[in-house]
């Protein structure tokens, strides 16, 4: 498997799209830091950018790369290599390179300009988000037969997690506003990795007061050490579960 990771990395580092991704992230992060006097304000603007861009690029890049390396995967399957190893090799190759891109584009500027716990939480959330959407991309790619459908499914997933889910959440909260919803909201938040990433960062920013009563409940739950552990574990589950399902499907898939 290590060898497969090595060859995938070798291939991806020649990819110009990944370089463009690093530059885009670096420009937006250093731009926001330089334009704003208040570092925490820049960080919260950067959070908005990150929550949109990182999932989108991670899921699209992975899906496109997966289908572009379909030939490579087929070639490997005719060799005495287990399918699970092949797919996880490709996963770690892509995941690792996206993480490296994220740390170069956002990690370095954040550490240089900020360097506080908030900054580290920000980077942790971004890294987890990268891996979550790489896993979701694998899930979408294994389910579909061709590139177009794969990309379509991936885009739908991204839309769902960044836009539709929050809409549904708002609808639920509005419709049931007469009832105590705090516990339910915490549970519902766990169903969306993007919201979890947002909370991981926001709660360290002392602006949870702006989120009203629910914010206070969130702060109580996620702000405590245990809540952080829960949030991170749920994010990790979002990394592992789609990947494991993808592996199981791929093991039985006809090529």
Q: Which residues form the interface with another protein (CB under 8 A)?
A: 3-4, 7, 11, 14, 68-69, 71-72, 74-83, 252, 254-255
Number of Cβ within 10 Å of residue 230's Cβ equals 16
DSSP 177-246: TTS--HHHHHHHHHT-HHHHHHHHHHTTTT-GGGGHHHHHHHHHHHSSHHHHHHHHHHHHHHHHHHHHHH
**Can you tell me the distance from the alpha carbon of 65 to that of 49, in angstroms, rounded to the nearest whole number?**
23
15 in the Ramachandran plot: left (φ > 0), alpha (ψ -120 to 50) or beta? beta
**Residue among 1 and 39 whose Cβ is closer to another protein:** 1
From the CB of 255, what's the least distance to another protein, in Å?
5
In the complex, what is the shortest distance from the CB of residue 76 to another protein, in angstroms, rounded to a whole number? 7
Instruction: Quote the CA–CA distance of 237 and 239 in Å, as a whole number.
Output: 5
Q: How far is the CB of 116 from another protein (least distance, A)?
A: 41
Other C-beta atoms closer than 10 Å to the C-beta of 33 total 18
Nearer to another protein, 75 or 240 (CB): 75
Min separation Cβ 23 and another protein, Å = 20
Q: Which is nearer to another protein, 12 or 157 (CB)?
A: 12
Which CB sits closer to another protein, 38 or 71? 71
| Contacts of the segment 188-191: beta carbons below 8 A, 24+ positions apart | 189/218, 190/234, 191/165
**Could you give the CA distance from residue 40 to residue 194 in angstroms, rounded to a whole number?**
20
- Which residue's CB is nearer to another protein, number 11 or number 182? 11
Distance between CA atoms of residues 56 and 137, nearest Å? 10
**Least spacing, CB of residue 241 vs another protein, in Å:** 24
Residue 235 or 246: the one with the smaller Cβ distance to another protein is 246
Please report how close the Cβ of residue 10 comes to another protein at its closest, in angstroms: 8
């Amino acid at each position: 498997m290590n060898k497969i990771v090595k060859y995938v990395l070798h291939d991806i580092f020649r990819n110009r799209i990944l370089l463009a991704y690093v530059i885009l992230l670096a420009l937006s992060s250093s731009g926001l830091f330089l334009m704003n006097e208040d570092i925490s304000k820049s960080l919260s603007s950067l959070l908005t950018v990150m929550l949109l861009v990182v999932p989108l690029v991670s899921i699209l890049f992975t899906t496109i790369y997966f289908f572009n390396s379909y030939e490579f995967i087929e070639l490997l399957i005719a060799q005495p290599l287990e399918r699970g190893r092949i797919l996880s090799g490709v996963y770690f190759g892509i995941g690792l390179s996206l993480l490296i891109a994220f740390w170069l584009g956002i990690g370095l500027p954040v550490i240089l300009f900020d360097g506080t716990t908030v900054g580290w939480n920000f980077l942790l959330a971004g890294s987890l988000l990268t891996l979550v959407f790489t896993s979701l991309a694998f899930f979408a790619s294994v389910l579909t037969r061709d590139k177009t459908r794969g990309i379509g499914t991936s885009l739908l997933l991204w839309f769902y997690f960044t836009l539709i889910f929050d809409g549904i959440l708002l609808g639920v909260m509005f419709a049931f506003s007469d009832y105590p919803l705090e516990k339910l909201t915490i549970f519902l938040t766990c169903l969306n990795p993007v919201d979890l990433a947002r909370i991981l960062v926001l709660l360290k920013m002392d602006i949870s007061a702006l989120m009203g009563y629910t914010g206070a409940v969130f702060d109580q739950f996620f702000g405590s050490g245990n809540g952080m552990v829960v949030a991170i574990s749920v994010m990790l589950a979002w990394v592992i579960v789609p990947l494991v399902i993808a592996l199981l499907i791929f093991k039985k898939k006809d090529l």
